[in-house]
Amino acid sequence: MTFSQSKKQQELEERRQELRKEIQQINELLFANKTKQKSQTSLIEDLNYKVNVRKNLIKVTNQQANLLTREINTNQNKITELRDELKTLKDNYAKMILTSYKSKSEQSRIMFLLSSTNFKQAYKRIQYINQYANYQKEQGEMIKTKTAELQATNQALLKQKEDKQKLIEENRVAQRQLESELKQHESLMASIKKNLSNYTAQIREKQQEADRIDREIEKIIRDAIAASNKKAGKASTSSSNFALTPEDKVLASNFVASKGKLPWPVEKGIVTVRYGKQPSPIVPTVMIQSSGVRIATEKNAKARAVFKGKVMRVQAIRHGNLTVMIQHGNYITSYTNLSKVYVKTGDNITTKQDIGEIFTNPADGKTVLRFSVFKETKTKNPADWVYKM
């Protein structure tokens, strides 16, 4: 479906298509494998995410339909105005043609000129005759233009009404799907509330495990900073900043220049957990802290570097599988939960180079990459760096 009425309509359509694609990916990546029996926590997380995306889709589609309604009203008013203008133009043109017909004989024109009292008056009358003829021609062209404009507006109006009807139908389908998902969500939440303390303990345990992995990665970065300062011959190795070579500074500058334009660390994926502090989808009263993002992807999917750099460390992290950390000057990107690694410490890496295969959990069939961005030891929001994350 295409809309050509306004920039705002185009922006809404682009957003709607993005949300439709996201729901399709959610179904493919999180709900396609029906042979795997998910835990209630896993299912509620996935369902909660899907419900939120579905709500956003309905909201955007409603905005489009409302905007189309306003544009339809504008075009209907424009059609009324054009019809009135066209009627006035045609009436005036008919009167002009009739007047012209009554005095169109060559003799009457000659007599009009010969009756001039002097040459100057005769010259002005010639100018008047030519101007009147040109005016007639202009009025005729204006009628053609207004007629074409009226026809085009009528066509646009018909297309807008058709587009609006399609949006209404799509929203009805989306609303029915949302109602079904909300019922399932409500049923799961009722079950979880019966064992709330148990689920709360599980969430906190997972958060502690994530914090432990974060501390391990942070230590690796601090050690790398100390090593860079020692190599540079600096007296103190307790600095919190990398000692950068001129080449490292250029690399870091290029990395910063690519902010918001970096490729995704997977070819196909959706962000299931975003960066920062947020309520747990299972027990909303419990807050969780994410130092990066978690991206659900396909089974056997490859993790790929988002920018050129050097492998700072390949690390086996307890309960986190393998992690690859790539240095880009004083910036680091971290790729955690890999089952296989194709690179080693010290390797030079190019943008989009495959660095490993992402682990697939045999229990629920989910393949999730944990991706983080650091400046020195400080985490950054990956959504600010990766294109349309």
* Residue where a domain stops, chosen among 162, 194, 226: 194
Among 194, 227, 255, give the residue marking a domain's end. Answer: 194
Output the pLDDT for position 112: 57
- Containing structural domain, residue 294: 208-384
Residue 170 within any structural domain of the chain: yes
DSSP 8-state symbol, 382: G
Least confident range of 13-17, 86-90, 183-187, 247-251: 86-90
Which residue did the predictor score with more confidence, 129 or 59?
59
Q: Are residues 282 and 161 in the same domain?
A: no
Comparing 327 with 189, which gets the higher pLDDT? Answer: 327
- The Cα 139–Cα 134 span in angstroms is 9
Residues 170, 226, single domain; the answer is no
Specify whether 150 is located in the same domain as 233.
no
Residue 19 lies in a domain: yes
| Structure confidence at residue 217 (pLDDT) | 93
Same-domain check for residues 118 and 229: no
Answer with the one of 169, 194, 219 that is the final residue of a domain. Answer: 194
Say what the pLDDT of residue 160 is.
Answer: 83
Domain count, the chain: 2
Question: Percentage of the chain surpassing pLDDT 70?
Answer: 86
Model confidence pLDDT, tens digit, residues 321-335 = 899 999 999 999 999
50, part of any domain? yes
Q: Would you say residue 382 has pLDDT above 90?
A: yes
Cα distance between residue 323 and residue 334, in whole Å: 7
Kindly write down the DSSP assignment for every residue of 322-333, as one continuous string. Answer: EEEEEEETTEEE
Segment (H or E) for 18: helix 7-30
With respect to residue 2, please indicate whether it lies within any of the assigned structural domains.
Answer: no
User: What CATH number is attached to the domain comprising 323?
Assistant: 2.70.70.10
Helix (H, G, I), strand (E, B) or coil at 222: helix
166 and 19 both lie in a single domain:
yes
Residue 65 pLDDT more than 80?
Answer: yes
CA distances (Å), 84 to each of 7, 74, 88, 143, in order?
A: 29, 16, 6, 12
In terms of domains, do 56 and 159 share one? yes
Task: Kindly state whether residues 121 and 149 are assigned to the same domain.
Answer: yes
Do 98 and 182 lie in a common domain? yes
d(CA 23, CA 29): 10
Indicate if 136 and 78 belong to the same structural domain: yes
pLDDT of 4 reads 47
Residue 199 lies in a domain: no
Averaged pLDDT score across all residues of the chain: 86
Pairing of strands 354-358, 302-304: antiparallel
Tens digits of per-residue pLDDT, 340-373? 999 999 999 999 999 999 999 888 888 999 999 9
The pLDDT tens digits of the residues spanning 126-180 come to 676 666 666 666 666 777 777 777 777 778 788 888 889 999 999 999 999 999 9
Pair 179, 279 in one domain:
no
Residues 97, 179 within the same domain = yes
Among 97-106, 149-158, 210-219, 276-285, the least confident range: 97-106
pLDDT of residue 246: 93
pLDDT digits (tens, 9 = 90+) for 33-54: 665 666 778 888 889 899 999 9
Direct distance between the N- and C-terminal alpha carbons of the chain, in angstroms, rounded to an integer: 24
Residues whose CB falls within 8 Å of the CB of residue 260, separated by 6 or more in sequence, listed in order: 384, 385, 386, 387
Burial class (CB in 10 A: 0-12, 13-18, 19+), 297: buried
